[in-house]
Amino acid sequence: MAKKKFDPLWEIVDEKVALQGAEPDVDVPCPHCNVTVHLGSAVKAGERFACGLCGGVSEVLPASAGAGLKPVG
C-alpha cells in the first residue's frame, strides 16, 4: 500500500487550503514567447519586466487596462 506523502505547502490534511499570508497570483502571458509569467501583487504599472525564459523585456500595463504586459522596443 502506498504511503501518503506530507505536503508542507498545505495546512489542512485532505483539503487544499493555501498557507496563510500567501499572495494572490497575478499570472499573465509573456508577449514575446507566450509562456505564463508570475508578476506578484506588488507590481506597479510602468515597471519593466524581463521574461525568465526568452529574456524579452516588457512593460506592465496599468490596472485600468487589465493585468498584462506589452513588449518594449
pLDDT of residue 40: 79
2-37 pLDDT per residue, tens: 555 555 655 555 666 555 666 667 889 999 999 999
pLDDT of residue 42: 80
Within a domain: 50: yes
Within a domain: 10: no
Distance CA 54, CA 72 (A): 14
* Structural domain count of the chain: 1
Within a domain: 6: no
Is the whole model's pTM more than 0.75, yes or no? no
Backbone angles phi, psi at 65, to 5 degrees: -90, -5
What percent of the chain clears pLDDT 70, i.e. is strictly above it?
67
Question: Which residue range(s) make up the domain with 52?
Answer: 27-71
Distance CA 18, CA 3 (A): 22
We report the CATH number of the domain holding residue 34 as 2.20.28
Within a domain: 12: no
Within a domain: 5: no
Distances (CA, A) of 57 to 9, 16, 63: 31, 35, 19
Within a domain: 9: no
Higher pLDDT, 14 or 56: 56
Is the pLDDT assigned to residue 49 strictly greater than 80? Answer: yes
